[in-house]
Amino acid sequence: MFNYVTLCLYSKKKLHQNKSTNVLLKTIDYFSFEKISIKNNPKIEELVRQTFPNVQFDENSLDLLFVDEIDVPTFQKICSKGKLHNDSIVLVDSIHENKQHWEQWARLITLPEITVSIDMYHCGLISIRREQVKEHFTIRI
């Protein structure tokens, strides 16, 4: 996580003006993700297709899932279907947009299967790395 924050998130590289979209693009680039899913945002999906032509939009096994919001039942359903693997990342846009999004985020990061969470204000990241001790970070981007 330290390398991700320092080498990716804090890098001077700017791929997009919107902070959440910039985090998404920098994360895909940093981890060289191949299989991603972007829910309910065709403009961002098209931007990712143009920026990373080799990325596959696959719903079966995901390296990265980008969503506007996600609640606990939806996350658990995705996990139970085996769509996320041990190194998968879920980026949640606008976690501070309103009270409902913030409450969903707060409940989500308490789940035992989520070991790493990062609150970046504009968006949040969760990971399910089983070998990692549960940690929550709040960083400024």
Beta strand ranges found along 59-127 (DSSP E): 62-67, 84-93, 116-119, 123-127
Query: Stretch 65-70: mean pLDDT, rounded?
Result: 93
Rounded to the nearest 5°, which phi and psi values hold at 112?
-65, -30
Cα–Cα distance, 100 to 12 (Å, whole number) = 32
107, containing H or E segment: helix 99-108
State the pLDDT at residue 41: 92
Query: Stretch 43-61: mean pLDDT, rounded?
Result: 93
Residue 60 predicted with pLDDT over 90: no
Query: Stretch 87-106: mean pLDDT, rounded?
Result: 93
Residue 127 predicted with pLDDT over 90: yes
Rounded to the nearest 5°, which phi and psi values hold at 87?
-105, 15
Query: Stretch 48-55: mean pLDDT, rounded?
Result: 96
Residue 86's SS3 state is strand
Q: Which of 43-47, 82-86, 111-115 has the highest mean pLDDT?
A: 43-47
Assign 66 a pLDDT band (cuts: 50, 70, 90).
Answer: very high
- Burial of 136 from C-beta contacts in 10 A (0-12 / 13-18 / 19+): middle
* Full-model pTM: 0.92
Rounded to the nearest 5°, which phi and psi values hold at 66?
-115, 120
Assign 131 a pLDDT band (cuts: 50, 70, 90).
Answer: confident
